[in-house]
Chains A and B, each alone.
Chain A
Amino acid sequence: MRRWIGAETAKLWSLPASHLTALGTVVASAVLAIAFGAAGGTGVLDVGLAPVAYGQAGFVVLGVVAVTSEYSGGQIRTTLAAMPRRITQHLAKLVSLALFAVPAAVVTVVAGVVVAGVVVGDEGVLPQFAEALRAVSGAAAYLTLTALLSAAIATVIRRTVPVVAGLLVHYFVIGPLLRDRAGFAAYLPDTAGHSMWLHNGTGALTGSAVVIAWVVLAVAVSTTTFRRRDA
């Protein structure tokens, strides 16, 4: 299993798309923190975590690209020739994605908070250390789970553009619109995830449980389809 994770990690690191996505997300997060600061926020954590709502786009793309890069040129055949046990291969891919996403998520979130601290400056409301730690780790966990969910969905659909378009439309258009209008939206992965990183949000445990349940369900479905279907 360790060698399989190593192989999947090597493939993920060799994709230019993975580095460019991570880098672009960190830069965008810092720029947006400046914008939110200029928009009149005073709480360093409020301003610093607001870009997470946009940074999740980068983690959606990261998760999708990690999977669909296998299918755009037929690399999946080589992969399965080298690693024929499909369930192990699929789980190894998800583990390697998580190993890539966690540091990327931490850097993204911390970049936003640090920039917010600089922008908001002296008049800013500085957070307690424990509070900041909780919010930052919650946001990073949410971003990582979003990447895993996207990867699982991409495994089922196997086409980059439809998956990216569908997920982004959900996370950025349908989700936010339903949030204020429909009660069941609290059980969708994006709205439930809000409570993981909006540090004044309530029900962080429930929210995390809902997001994790979505990820587990999606991974179960993707593992089953990947196991049973022709590559």
Chain B
Amino acid sequence: MRACRGELSKLASLPSVWVSCLVGVAVPAVVAFISASTGDTKAGADAGFQELAFGVVGAVVLGVVAASSEYSTEGEASGGGRQITTSLTVVPSRTRFLLAKVAAVITTATVLAVAAAAITLTFVQVLLGDHVQASDVSRVPGVVVYWVLTALLAFGITLLTRNGIVPLAVLILNTSVVTVTFLLTKITTLAVYFPDMAGLRMFIIEMDLPVHLSPVAGGAVMAAWVVVLLAAGVAVFRRRDA
């Protein structure tokens, strides 16, 4: 529990985390506000939720920075300092250290997702009231689970690479308007089982994909990816020199 508090305090001390939270809340809220105030209704039942699918970049940066900040500290006088040695001196059990870290990432991502969903959907509700039905609130847990799983996915990949650039490039690029995984579904239907394509089913209704998955099945596929990547990250982290 104290280890977890320590990890939360480390996250809170990173400017990148605060900026990523700001981006995660502001991007979907502002974009939803712009499209709703122009009376754009082509998103239909997914109004607001589509924007939340892009806002997940905030969770991506959060997950990447949570891992990469342990390995390289950039700054005038840090000379490439590595916080990980200090962290493991304080919490020598590597499994406990990672559990605390994962708990901190989950907590932060949950708060971030709830805040982003609340603000974005409020804008949509106020500006396009007749388009948001009561059932839409039932999709909010899907948004939160998607953001948390994405943050953990980014964290797991960064644990393997120990460098933030590659996971950032791959994951942000894949949050774009036409994602790479969506293009890959044109080559092979297997691509619908990529974590983001599967996970989006939890809250996006209209998806032009060759295979239909229920929200629960989509969430399960995404969770399986996260479990495998985190397990690989934990296994490597426990065996490798810090």
Contacts and interface: CB of A to CB of B under 8 A. Distances in A.
Interface stretch (B83-91, B104-112, B169-177): B169-177
A73 B80 CA distance: 5
A39 B191 CA distance: 13
A161 B34 CA distance: 29
Contacts of A32: 180, 183
Contact of B186 (A38, A168, A230): A38
A162 B19 contact: yes
Interface in B38-61: 38, 40, 51, 54, 57, 61
Contact of A36 (B65, B72, B183): B183
Contacts of A162: 15-16, 19
Interface in A120-159: 158-159
B186 A39 contact: yes
A176 interface: yes
Given A61-B165, A74-B79, A172 B65 contact: no
Interface in B70-128: 72, 74-76, 79-80
A39 B181 CA distance: 12
A73 B34 CA distance: 43
Interface in A153-184: 158-162, 164-166, 168-169, 172-174, 176-178, 181-182
B173 A168 contact: yes
A61 B172 CA distance: 12
Given A165-B20, A173-B57, A181 B31 contact: yes
A13 interface: no
Interface string B3-29: 000000000000110011001000100
Contacts of B142: none
Mostly, the B contact residues are helix
A160 B74 contact: yes
A188 interface: no
Contacts of A166: 19
Given A39-B186, A54-B173, A173-B176, A161 B68 contact: yes
A141 B165 CA distance: 24
Closest 3 CB pairs of A and B: A35-B183, A39-B186, A172-B176
Given A160-B74, A164-B164, A166-B19, 4 more contacts: A54-B180, A57-B173, A161-B74, A161-B168
Interface of A: 17, 32, 34-36, 38-40, 53-54, 57-58, 61, 65, 68, 71-74, 158-162, 164-166, 168-169, 172-174, 176-178, 181-182, 230
